[in-house]
Amino acid sequence: MSSIYEKYNLKQVINASGRMTILGVSTPRPEVVEAMVTGVNHYFEMKDLVNKTGEYIAGLLGTEGAVVVACASAGIAQSVAAVLVKDSDWLLENLHVTPVENNEIVLPKGHNVNFGAPVGTMVALGGGKLVEAGYANECSAEQLAAAITPRTAAILYIKSHHCVQKSMLNVAQAAAVAQQHNLPLIVDAAAEEDLQRYYHDGADLVIYSGAKAIEGPTSGLVVGKKQYVEWVKRQSGGIGRAMKVGKEGILGLTTAIEYYLSATKESGAQMVEKMTPFIEALNGLPGVSARVVWDSAGRDIARTEIKFDEARTGVPTGTLVEQLKQGEYAIYFRGYKANEGIIEADVRSVTADQLAIISRRIGECLQENQA
């Protein structure tokens, strides 16, 4: 494996930042990789593969329909295209030639985020026109409803830590507004862990990223009401072709979902056990204090908080974070509090050996800065 890094002169990464798209998100378990290998090595009637794996996933999740797509972004674009094109053969092949007249996609203003690419770009790819409801800091059910016009095609709701959280209506409230206006509700829940909740809250289509919480291959999942999922599938003859998912992605994600639902996850207590020697090593370094902190969203995730006394380390923590990316290993942390002298290590994707490398590197960097 190290030969790939040598062949292309790539830097080896230690990922203590969690599920980050810029680092390749996650590494699937061996059973998932095996399903992907089976996928690439065989032929299938692709329509059959899409339909049968979709039915299987829908059965696992208790939804009317499901389909594997290339990624969550592709899921958003194809969901928008699906609600505009529906059964029309003409629009399927002419979506961007003859723009659909009633193509407005209403979403709360605080949901118009950049998750690495803008939500609005995906909506535009699907032929939609974004219309913001409410304000940067609030959107009620009434404010969402007020943005609906005869040109509205759907409501879009982004369930994400990227979004404004305060004074926001929830998915069930958005679903009620959609039902009152006889419109579909599309929910982007790309990084969320619950694969059933938003469907049960009344969404017509719910979109997930395959490699984030599910830890599958690069792929996406769209679940929802039967008719809407069928319309998403039709897009393989339209914009979906430019974002085609392979047979290995379809089989890999299906297997990953199966394990995701049944496997017991690494518990917070196990994470604490793993990080204890690491914390002890860090606390032995001058100007460094480390401790266990728990996930602020209440999930059973423990992380290591590393606090630098900059008066003693003599280096801005932001600079140190950059230095740690530059060594033999590129070491990535959760660095959003670096301006306060605090970084966090998410140990879920880090081995005990790598934790030892991290504490050693921090010690070396601090020493270099002292010199």
Ligand X SMILES: *Cc1c(COP(=O)(O)O)cnc(C)c1O
Give contact residues for ligand X (rule: CB under 6 A).
21, 71-73, 115, 158, 160, 162, 188, 190-191, 209, 220
User: Of 262, 254, 256, 257, which is closest to residue 44 (Cα–Cα)?
Assistant: 254
Distance of closest approach, residue 244 Cβ to ligand X, in angstroms? 14
Q: Of 190 and 271, which CB lies nearer to ligand X in the complex structure?
A: 190
Distance of closest approach, residue 11 Cβ to ligand X, in angstroms? 22
Q: Of 63 and 79, which CB lies nearer to ligand X in the complex structure?
A: 79
Distance of closest approach, residue 32 Cβ to ligand X, in angstroms? 16
DSSP character string of 1-20: -HHHHHHTTPPEEEEES-S-
Q: Of 213 and 321, which CB lies nearer to ligand X in the complex structure?
A: 213
Cα–Cα dist 222/248, whole Å:
17
Distance of closest approach, residue 216 Cβ to ligand X, in angstroms? 10
Q: Do 278 and 363 form a contact (C-beta atoms < 8 A)?
A: no
> 330 by DSSP, 3-state: which?
strand
**Residue 243, Cβ neighbours under 10 Å: how many?**
18
The beta strand positions in the chain, using DSSP E, are 12-16, 65-69, 104-108, 129-133, 152-158, 185-188, 205-209, 220-224, 288-294, 302-308, 329-333, 342-345
Cα–Cα dist 88/101, whole Å:
14
**Size (the chain), residues:** 371
Distance of closest approach, residue 111 Cβ to ligand X, in angstroms? 9
Query: Angle 185-212-246 (CA atoms, 0-180°, nearest 5)?
Result: 85
What is the rounded radius of gyration, in angstroms, for the C-alpha atoms of the chain? 23
Alpha-carbon dihedral sign for residues 158, 159, 163, 164: positive
Distance of closest approach, residue 200 Cβ to ligand X, in angstroms? 20
Q: Of 71 and 279, which CB lies nearer to ligand X in the complex structure?
A: 71
Q: Of 128 and 220, which CB lies nearer to ligand X in the complex structure?
A: 220
Distance of closest approach, residue 230 Cβ to ligand X, in angstroms? 22
Cα–Cα dist 10/3, whole Å:
10
Q: Of 144 and 221, which CB lies nearer to ligand X in the complex structure?
A: 221
Q: Of 65 and 210, which CB lies nearer to ligand X in the complex structure?
A: 210
Q: Of 105 and 191, which CB lies nearer to ligand X in the complex structure?
A: 191
Distance of closest approach, residue 209 Cβ to ligand X, in angstroms? 3
Distance of closest approach, residue 73 Cβ to ligand X, in angstroms? 3
> 27 by DSSP, 3-state: which?
coil
Q: Do 69 and 75 form a contact (C-beta atoms < 8 A)?
A: yes
Cα–Cα dist 36/264, whole Å:
22
Cα–Cα dist 209/317, whole Å:
32
Q: Of 50 and 163, which CB lies nearer to ligand X in the complex structure?
A: 163
